[in-house]
Structure 1
Amino acid sequence: MSIKSIKKGAILIAKPALTNDIFQRSVILITEHLESGSIGFILNRSSHLPISIFVSEMEAGSIVFEGGPVDKENIYYIHKRPDLIRNSEWIADDIYWSGVYEDVREAINQDLIKEDEIKFFIGYCGWSPKQIVNELDDNSWEITDLDFDLFENWNSDLWKKLMKELGGENLIWLNTPADPSMN
């Protein structure tokens, strides 16, 4: 299941040693990986708030996820509908991110995009050049390929599911509380 190098479309799984609040037990989709840096979105941190709270002109109940600590003033999205959203950027398989906002708003309001075809995020994760490589060398992350439906409403279940699939030494962490001092 593990892969050896970071790439666009890869999944980062936080190792248990990573205790930074925002990244603890997080699962991140890498949407861009260049020499100038990397961008990704946390897939398993729900804000529990619908998109209509953040963007009043969208009439939808899609839940917004906390994409990361960078640029929390903006909404981002990944989706499966480049046919409806112009200038979408391919990530992997049939997954895209970004695109013309007006196309998203119109498709949402006309009920052309279903909740299982788009996922909204407030903020994103960003890494400067070589930062993500250093974090991998420090054993902060496990890298794997995308082999699950990222449009499901994942929370902590996703981290546990992926740790179980990784197996080995990762299995010990499945039933450990996020804060081991609470054990």
Structure 2
Amino acid sequence: MLNNIKPKTGRLLISEPFMSDPNFKRSVVLLTEHGEEGTVGYILNQVGNLILNDVIQDLWQADNHIYFGGPVAADTLHFIHRCYDKLQSGEPIGDGLYWGGNFETLKILMNSNAIDATEIKFFMGYSGWGVGQLDREIEENAWMVSDIPNVDLIFGNDDEKLWRDVIVHLGPKFAHVSNFPIDPNLN
């Protein structure tokens, strides 16, 4: 099911429909780093049970959901955003997206309602691959790679729809995959 797009910072990984690893079942991962030392990304479509103000008490009005970013360092908080104009910090990852930034400034902006929930997404943990590991998994058809079809999709909250929309964006050759059942035994 290879689609010939190579992974790089700012691209998406889409899990194949029947991936057996429960951490990545029907997941869409935003790559925030891809280079000689490995790959880092965040699962965009696995909302967790925590709200931001459950984790950071001095963010009293922050009712943003925290997503499961991946199985690595699951006790760490990370964020991506598209509000560099307000936060004035973060590592650029493409398409007006940024990874991380000054958390003290972020808290001030969030407590004053200067940042909207559609501009930022929080994650517990991250997804990581060692040197060459992701390339091997792509060769084994565990992942497809895509450019970001629409930045708004990244900040949405319809987990299953995101996976389907990104698959359909890959083109007619892949669109039928979006209709595969979660459990192939139910087909």
Q: Which residue of 1 aligns with 2:46?
A: 45
Structure 1 residue 147 displacement after superposition: 1.6
Q: Is 1:145 the equivalent of 2:147?
A: yes
3-state SS of the aligned residue for 2:87? coil
Counterparts in 2 of 1:62-81, with a 5 A limit? Answer: 62-81=64-83
3-state SS of the aligned residue for 1:104? helix
Q: Which residue of 2 aligns with 1:160?
A: 164
Q: Residues of 1 paired with 2:168 and 2:8: CA distance?
A: 22
Q: Residues of 1 paired with 2:149 and 2:174: CA distance?
A: 18
Q: Which residue of 1 aligns with 2:108?
A: 106
Q: Which residue of 2 aligns with 1:91?
A: 93
More helix by share: 2
Instruction: Deviation per CA, 1:122-146: give whole Å up to 9, x if none.
Output: 1100010111111111111111101
3-state SS of the aligned residue for 2:8? coil
Q: Residues of 1 paired with 2:103 and 2:88: CA distance?
A: 9
Structure 1 residue 172 displacement after superposition: 3.8
Q: Residues of 1 paired with 2:79 and 2:185: CA distance?
A: 36
Structure 1 residue 162 displacement after superposition: 1.8
Q: Which residue of 1 aligns with 2:20?
A: 19
Which range moved further: 136-145 or 41-50? 41-50
3-state SS of the aligned residue for 2:168? helix
Q: Residues of 1 paired with 2:167 and 2:85: CA distance?
A: 34
**How many corresponding residue pairs?**
182
Structure 1 residue 60 displacement after superposition: 1.0
Q: Residues of 2 paired with 1:123 and 1:80: CA distance?
A: 20
The residue identity in structure 2 corresponding to 1:52 is N
Q: Residues of 1 paired with 2:175 and 2:8: CA distance?
A: 25
Query: Could you list the runs of 5+ residues in structure 2 that have no partner in the other structure?
Result: none
TM-score between the two structures when normalised by the length of structure 2: 0.90
Q: Give the conservation status (yes or no) of the 8 Å contact 1:3–1:144.
A: no
3-state SS of the aligned residue for 2:20? coil
Query: Could you list the runs of 5+ residues in structure 1 that have no partner in the other structure?
Result: none
3-state SS of the aligned residue for 1:84? helix
* C-alpha RMSD over aligned residues: 1.7
Q: Does the C-alpha gap of structure 1 residues 98 and 177 become closer, same or farther in structure 2, counting only changes over 3 Å?
A: same
The residue identity in structure 2 corresponding to 1:89 is E
Q: Give the conservation status (yes or no) of the 8 Å contact 2:27–2:45.
A: yes
Q: What percent identity do the matched residue pairs reach? A: 35
Structure 1 residue 3 displacement after superposition: 5.5
Instruction: Deviation per CA, 1:12-60: give whole Å up to 9, x if none.
Output: 1111242210111100100011100110000011114321112222121
